[in-house]
């Protein structure tokens, strides 16, 4: 009887999918071959007795090309980061390494700023096309890892070309001290080398506690002044207002790093934005013209999509009554 056959299909499917019983064990229990078990499982899916639903943990709101078109930039790469993943930074760094490998070519000049994510990115770039590497921001030391100086040396080894290190702190106490340091030949050479970049790789930090390395290294009065000046984000020590203009808070002259003008004149700028809620910062960087290629996680992609009026419903795929491809 058809009902008996369908019940047998349901029984075998339940043992396989719900009880994790192997096909060999099911075959022995029912006195059939494991090949018959496989055919019955296929039939159960075809007849709708078994349906399989796959929920994508990323629930991406929009794909990269949609976001890139809406932002008016060359590309957006959304890193594969499941919700709550403990290695989220490393996954973002791996995605950034893939973009850098795509845009850097033989004989080009690559400029690299510093962030914890970019530090990890270097580990995913064992080799690069032969190119020169310029350090775009003064040194920052962090607990438990190398600073920007070690990053530039690692990338220089991977690229095999000339390197321009920037042997100075990112931020100093006074504009006079910064001006004196900029006159030093090695520092001056590195800053001038940033005038002729082919590719720049920089990181974006929200102007908030725990979101920017620079934020943690200035005084409370300087933070307050930057906020009052409209700063929403920081890139290589340079503060950005929401409209993409420089947020003048008296810090700029104390920073030893690539300028916003140098970044805007660079043909290819890869901007890595680690923050999950850095919509304002990304919009500011795009408005400033310092983001041709954006690398973000899915949480920020969701927020950006909502801000830009794109679809914000998550994705899921259901095999329905058909067998999976």
Lowest mean pLDDT among 57-66, 90-99, 151-160, 161-170: 57-66
The CATH number of 64-308 is 3.40.50.1360
Instruction: Give the C-alpha separation, 164 to 171, whole Å.
Output: 19
Instruction: Give the C-alpha separation, 308 to 283, whole Å.
Output: 10
Phi then psi for residue 244, to 5 deg, are 95, -5
Bigger pLDDT: 250 or 296?
A: 296
Residue 91 is predicted with a pLDDT of: 93
Percent of the chain exceeding pLDDT 70 equals: 89
Confidence of residue 257 (pLDDT cuts 50, 70, 90): very high
Averaged over 225-249, what is the pLDDT? 93
Question: Can you give the residue ranges of every domain in the chain?
Answer: 2-50, 64-308
CB 234 within 8 A of CB 214: yes
CB 187 within 8 A of CB 181: yes
Architecture label for domain 2-50:
Orthogonal Bundle (1.10)
Instruction: Name which of 258, 256, 231, 260 is nearest 172 in CA terms.
Output: 256
Who's near 180: CB < 8 A, 6+ residues apart?
A: none
User: Which burial class, exposed, middle or buried, applies to 235 when counting CB atoms under 10 A from its CB (0-12, 13-18, 19+)?
Assistant: buried
pLDDT tens by residue, 176-187: 999 999 999 999
pLDDT tens by residue, 14-52: 999 888 888 989 999 999 998 899 999 999 998 899 987
Residue 286 is predicted with a pLDDT of: 97
* 2-50 and 64-308 share one fold: no
User: Which burial class, exposed, middle or buried, applies to 150 when counting CB atoms under 10 A from its CB (0-12, 13-18, 19+)?
Assistant: middle
**Average pLDDT, rounded, for the chain:** 86
pLDDT tens by residue, 130-171: 899 999 999 876 554 555 567 888 888 888 888 999 999 999
Please state the pTM of the whole predicted model: 0.76
């Amino acid at each position: 009887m058809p009902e008996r056959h369908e019940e047998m299909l349901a029984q075998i499917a339940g043992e396989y999918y719900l009880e994790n019983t192997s096909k060999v064990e099911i075959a022995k229990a029912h006195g059939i071959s494991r090949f018959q078990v496989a055919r019955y499982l296929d039939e159960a899916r075809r007849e709708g007795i078994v349906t399989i639903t796959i929920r994508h943990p990323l629930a991406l709101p929009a794909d990269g090309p949609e976001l890139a078109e809406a932002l008016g930039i060359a590309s957006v790469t959304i890193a594969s980061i499941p919700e709550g993943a403990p290695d989220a930074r490393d996954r973002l760094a791996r995605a950034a390494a893939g973009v850098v490998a795509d845009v850097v070519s033989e004989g080009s000049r690559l400029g690299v700023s510093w962030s914890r994510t970019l530090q990890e990115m270097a580990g995913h770039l064992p080799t690069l096309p032969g190119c020169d590497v310029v350090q775009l921001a003064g040194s920052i030391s962090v607990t438990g890892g190398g600073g920007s100086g070690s990053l530039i040396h690692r990338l220089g080894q991977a690229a095999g070309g000339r390197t321009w290190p920037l042997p100075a702190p990112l931020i100093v106490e006074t504009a006079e001290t910064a001006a004196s340091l900029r006159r030093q030949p090695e520092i001056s050479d590195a800053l001038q080398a940033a005038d002729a970049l082919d590719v720049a790789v920089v990181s974006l930090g929200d102007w908030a506690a725990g979101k920017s390395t620079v934020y943690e290294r200035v005084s409370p009065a300087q933070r307050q002044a930057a906020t009052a000046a409209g700063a929403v984000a920081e890139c290589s020590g340079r503060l950005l207002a929401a409209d993409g203009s420089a947020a003048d808070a008296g810090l700029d002259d104390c920073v030893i790093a690539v300028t916003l003008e140098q970044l805007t004149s660079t043909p290819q700028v890869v901007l890595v934005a680690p923050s999950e809620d850095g919509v304002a910062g990304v919009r500011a960087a795009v408005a400033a013209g310092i983001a041709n290629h954006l690398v973000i996680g899915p949480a920020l992609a969701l927020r950006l999509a909502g801000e830009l009026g794109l679809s914000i419903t998550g994705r899921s795929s259901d095999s329905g009554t058909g067998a999976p491809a």
